[in-house]
Amino acid sequence: MSFSPSWPQIITTLIDGDDMSVSEADWAMTQIMTGQASEAALSAFLIALRIKGETVNEVVGFRDAILEHARSVAITPQSLDIVGTGGDRFGTVNVSTMSSIVAAAAGIPVVKHGNRAASSQSGSSDVLASLGVSLELTPEQLARVFDRTGIAFIYAGHFHPGFQYAGKVRKEIGVPTVFNFLGPLCNPVRPEASAVGVAQSDRVPLIVGVFQTRGANALVFRGDEGLDELSTVGHSHIWEVTRGGVTEHDLDPRDLGIARANIEDLIGQDAAYNAQVARKVFAGDAGPVRDIVLLNAAAGLVAYDLSLDPASSETPMLERLTSKLVIAADTVDSGAAERKLAAWIGATRDEAGVVS
């Protein structure tokens, strides 16, 4: 018998507090991504799912459908994505974006997946545009930029056209939905190395679980105060996913020689301000922003090593982060991060035909 669910069946399942199978979740998200879900059905579905709570199998089904309908780009999956879920409500500067540039300057292939602001005044695409990175590129142009510079930005709004069908309903219902944390799981390149910050503690098991089902290697982390980064404000918890297993670590930045920061030291403003902060960090400015950028870049380097050699997980996390922190600092201090940003801007503008 063929599998043919319907919206009444799916919504009733959720209202009854029952979980969807992977195939049912895939069907529902496929309907959304292809514009076949009515606004009424979509609203009921998102609210019922939010009330019930998502499962790993459901998120796997959603992810599979989203990736199936994403625009493809010819970039190697042997690459790294440093990304946060957003939603931490602190409005910090663009830590993962700056850390991604540092990682790329250290020689790691980086494919960052991002969007407009989720929890700050300036999302990754906003600050990159303010820095001068051209985002309006075709998949072919993006691949050439990556080949030339070793870094690319996958703008979710361009590469997941199906998201447009959910936009109006999401805005009208005005509450967080599953879409708010799917982004880090749906990079069209499907990078084999991921360093993912998660703001909401209840979302951590879902994201860790999805990486486990992929047989992926990843670092998932959360600051104890709720930052979707490795925190310099206080302790962070790290979930290291490798070879189907999960190892948990607790991190105090002081153990790495990093002074505790105040959250106020990390607050951002609009895209222009955050871009200025990034340029200052890459120019060598010391202080709390530099510290958190280097720490998260180091996490990205650890995640990339994990993708190349899962046995690296046998080395203590503190030892790995310490060695990568030295590399990240040297990358900034040598001017390599500043040069990488300039090269990236130039490559994207060349592809976009922008005259300087």
The CATH code of the domain at 7-68 is 1.20.970.10
Mean pLDDT score, 247-260 = 98
Q: Has 120 been labeled as part of a binding site?
A: yes
CB 226, CB 192: distance < 8 Å: no
pLDDT tens-digit readout, 105-136: 999 999 999 876 544 567 899 999 999 999 98
Q: What is the pLDDT of residue 121?
A: 65
Q: Has 26 been labeled as part of a binding site?
A: no
Q: Has 53 been labeled as part of a binding site?
A: no
In sequence order, which residues have a C-beta less than 8 Å from that of residue 123 and are 6 or more positions away? 86, 94, 114, 115, 116, 117
Cα–Cα nearest to 20, from 66, 52, 58, 56: 58
Cα 242 from Cα 219, distance rounded (Å)? 9
Report whether pLDDT(328) > 60: yes
The CATH code of the domain at 80-159+166-344 is 3.40.1030.10
Q: Has 149 been labeled as part of a binding site?
A: no
Q: What is the pLDDT of residue 117?
A: 55
Cα 111 from Cα 321, distance rounded (Å)? 21
Phi and psi based region of residue 353 (left: phi greater than 0; alpha: psi -120 to 50; beta: remaining): left
Q: Has 187 been labeled as part of a binding site?
A: no
pLDDT tens-digit readout, 18-71: 999 999 999 999 999 999 999 999 999 999 999 999 999 999 999 999 999 999
pLDDT tens-digit readout, 139-197: 999 999 999 999 999 998 899 999 999 989 988 988 888 988 898 899 999 999 999 99
Q: Has 6 been labeled as part of a binding site?
A: no
Q: What is the pLDDT of residue 354?
A: 81
Q: Has 136 been labeled as part of a binding site?
A: no
Q: Has 319 been labeled as part of a binding site?
A: no
- Beta-carbon count within 10 A of 253 CB: 23
Cα–Cα nearest to 93, from 277, 324, 246, 286: 277
- Assigned token pair, 120: 């700050």
Q: Has 118 been labeled as part of a binding site?
A: yes
Q: Has 94 been labeled as part of a binding site?
A: yes
Phi, psi of 249 (to 5 degrees): -135, 150
Report whether pLDDT(89) > 90: no
Q: What is the pLDDT of residue 183?
A: 86
How much is the pTM? 0.95
pLDDT class of 78 with cuts at 50, 70, 90: very high
Q: Has 84 been labeled as part of a binding site?
A: yes
Q: What is the pLDDT of residue 139?
A: 96
Report whether pLDDT(243) > 90: no
Q: What is the pLDDT of residue 190?
A: 95
* Shared fold status for 7-68 and 80-159+166-344: no
CA atoms within 13 A on the CB side of 251: 32
Please state, for a pLDDT cut of 90, what percent of the chain lies above it: 86
CA atoms within 13 A on the CB side of 88: 28
Cα 176 from Cα 54, distance rounded (Å)? 12
Domain ranges of the chain: 7-68, 80-159+166-344
Q: Has 57 been labeled as part of a binding site?
A: no
